[in-house]
């Protein structure tokens, strides 16, 4: 099936975090608090997706208060942290939302994303993903993780669904 056809079916985009929403670095201050840096362009892309019929969810292998805060800021309700096997959360989400694999995309970057990426309908990899992830990806972003890759994927989906031009017209004040 052509990528364009697959993209048109997406209703839910799931995201890994470290290496996708962030550059993949884990930083701690002297008190042991974890710091994460998120890209605001990715955040705007997430909001655009949400307001245009694409739900966004997060499934992360690690747990972080910074991530919980960012998910809350972006109004992301599908939120799973500390998932050693991301497919468990994936199956729960799919069942609760009554979606088929073909309606779900996932953006990943490393080996712990292989299993879930083999389940979803559309597999996205960030530019600096491991070769194993890139090999199975339907789409590889030009941007690396944490530097606009999520926004790029969302724009690609919205354009394929014929929604992007309308979004731009709305943001520029045109009707």
Domain boundaries, the chain: 3-171
Contact, 61 vs 86, CB < 8 A?
yes
- Determine the Cα–Cα distance for residues 164 and 157; give it in Å rounded to an integer: 9
Could you read off the pLDDT of 22-61 as tens digits, one per residue?
Answer: 998 888 889 888 889 999 999 999 999 999 999 999 999 9
pLDDT above 70 (res 75)? yes
Tell me the pairing of strands 27-28 and 78-80.
unpaired
pLDDT above 60 (res 175)? no
Q: Quick check: helix, strand or coil at residue 122?
A: strand
- Determine the Cα–Cα distance for residues 84 and 102; give it in Å rounded to an integer: 23
Could you read off the pLDDT of 97-150 as tens digits, one per residue?
Answer: 999 999 999 999 999 999 999 999 999 999 999 999 999 999 999 999 999 999
**DSSP-derived secondary structure letter, 110:** S
Contact, 120 vs 14, CB < 8 A?
yes
- Domain 3-171, what architecture? 3-Layer(aba) Sandwich (3.40)
């Amino acid at each position: 099936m052509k990528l364009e056809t697959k993209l048109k079916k997406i209703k839910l985009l799931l995201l890994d975090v470290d290496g996708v929403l962030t550059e993949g670095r884990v930083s701690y201050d002297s008190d042991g608090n974890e710091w994460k840096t998120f890209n605001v362009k990715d955040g705007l892309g997430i909001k655009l997706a949400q307001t245009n019929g694409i739900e966004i969810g997060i499934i992360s292998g690690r747990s972080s208060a910074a991530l919980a805060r960012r998910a809350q800021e972006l109004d992301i309700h599908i939120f799973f942290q500390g998932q050693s096997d991301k497919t468990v959360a994936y199956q729960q989400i799919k069942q609760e939302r009554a979606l088929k694999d073909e309606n779900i995309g996932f953006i990943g970057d490393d080996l712990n994303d292989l299993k879930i990426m083999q389940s979803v309908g559309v597999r996205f990899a960030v530019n600096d993903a491991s070769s194993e992830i890139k090999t199975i990806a339907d789409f590889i972003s030009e941007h690396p993780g944490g530097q606009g890759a999520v926004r790029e994927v969302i724009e690609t989906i919205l354009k394929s669904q014929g929604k992007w031009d309308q979004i731009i017209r709305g943001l520029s004040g045109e009707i």
